[in-house]
Amino acid sequence: MKHESRDALLNMVCFCHINISDKQARRIVRMICRHLGGVDVYIPKKIAATETCDVMVRAFESVLDGQGVTALENVLSRFGGATMYIPQEWGSFRSELSMDILRAKESGDTTNIQLAKKYKVTARTINELYNHGLKMRIKARKRPLFPDI
* pLDDT for position 1: 42
What mean pLDDT comes out for the span 79-95? 82
134, part of any domain: yes
Same domain, 12 and 80: yes
* pLDDT for position 113: 92
Same domain, 97 and 84: no
Residue 132 pLDDT exceeds 80: yes
63, part of any domain: yes
146, part of any domain: no
84, part of any domain: yes
Tell me which long-range contacts 103-107 makes (C-beta under 8 A, separation of at least 24).
105/130
Same domain, 108 and 135: yes
147, part of any domain: no
For residue 146, the SS3 value is: coil
Same domain, 97 and 120: yes
* pLDDT for position 37: 80
Q: Which domain holds residue 57?
A: 4-88
Same domain, 117 and 60: no
Please state, in angstroms and rounded to a whole number, the distance separating the CA atoms of residues 123 and 129: 10
Q: Which of 34, 38, 26 is nearest to 115 (CA)?
A: 34
* pLDDT for position 11: 67
Same domain, 71 and 131: no
Q: Look at the chain and report how many structural domains it folds into.
A: 2
* pLDDT for position 131: 92
148, part of any domain: no
What mean pLDDT comes out for the span 49-58? 83
97, part of any domain: yes
Same domain, 32 and 56: yes
H helix or E strand, kind and range, residue 55: helix 51-63
pTM: 0.71
Residue 5 pLDDT exceeds 80: no
